[in-house]
Chains A and B, each alone.
Chain A
């Protein structure tokens, strides 16, 4: 390597060695691959989203916080009682949502709460969560839904 380099520089045409370029780029790729955290939460409730047409996109992903509402996933593809999940924990008591969401609101005042609700859930559960959100002051919500598939 060093003899090779000397030979080149002797020819009065100094050039940057290009051979290390791919190594640098691969190193960059690997660095980003390693540091990128795909936070994969285990969602313990089933959320088959409803379909809708009047959709808006949320561009600022960092503002979004998710609340999952749906029947609990059990073993053998069974589903159980309707449950609420925030981050990676199931909520036992609905009344605790206001505290959790208020803390999130303090961190990010422009928080958008995305409600990922199973299409078979009842409005009662959704309303209870919404009342808690009102108390917490996180008023921007988003009913997460899929793009409507054409019928047939």
Chain B
């Protein structure tokens, strides 16, 4: 390289080497490629139930299997008719789901455990999201605990393992399914 440069200089006099321009341009391109962050949308994923048929009755659920969480227009929380606070929701959901019939007030088994969330039409969206977040965090923590029991560092690691091996069946979700029912809100505008 140095020899080549010298030769050129002798022949044509001073000239900026243009061979490195490509590298500079590439470097710029790669720098911007790496530093550009495309906004990834984050949020709480949910699946809505399909619309009800005209004469469809809701499936029968035993009262003890359903953990009723009620959020009123002022953002106050009732769990099973007991006044509660938003941070309590997580523990209650976990206790309810993992009860396995021990406490007569909570669910009979994991499969039957349902969490029902009902709001008022006046409930602030913020409060609803906070409560929903606590419910999902309860499930995330239960899945994490289950994954650790199976020998994975976390549920995310287990999910990665499933993705890598193209396994459709998610044993953890199969065991602890998140059965969440969002009731239609009551009240008036």
Contacts and interface: CB of A to CB of B under 8 A. Distances in A.
A135 B18 CA distance: 63
A143 B123 contact: no
Residue of B25, B43, B119, B136 contacting most chain A CB atoms (<10 Å): B43
State the main secondary structure of chain A at its contact with B. mixed
Interface string B114-137: 000001111111101110110011
A140 interface: yes
Contact of B132 (A21, A119, A143): A143
A117 to B, nearest CB: 5
Nearest to B32: A29
Interface string A106-149: 00000010110111111110110011011101011111111100
A123 B22 contact: no
Interface residues of B, number: 43
B182 to A, nearest CB: 8
Contacts of B130: 50, 52
Interface in B93-126: 119-126
Contacts of A52: 43-44, 129-130, 132-133
B29 interface: yes
A53 interface: yes
Contact of A123 (B41, B44, B125): B125
Contact of B43 (A22, A26, A58, A135): A58
B54 to A, nearest CB: 13
A19 B41 contact: no
Given A122-B121, A122-B123, A139-B50, 19 more contacts: A18-B18, A18-B22, A21-B21, A25-B25, A52-B133, A58-B43, A115-B43, A117-B125, A120-B124, A123-B119, A123-B120, A123-B121, A123-B185, A124-B122, A127-B184, A131-B184, A139-B49, A141-B45, A144-B43
16 contacts: A18-B18, A18-B19, A29-B25, A53-B137, A55-B44, A57-B40, A57-B41, A58-B43, A61-B38, A61-B41, A112-B45, A114-B41, A115-B43, A119-B126, A142-B45, A145-B129
Interface of A: 18-19, 21-22, 25-26, 29, 50-59, 61, 64, 112, 114-115, 117-124, 126-127, 130-131, 133-135, 137, 139-147
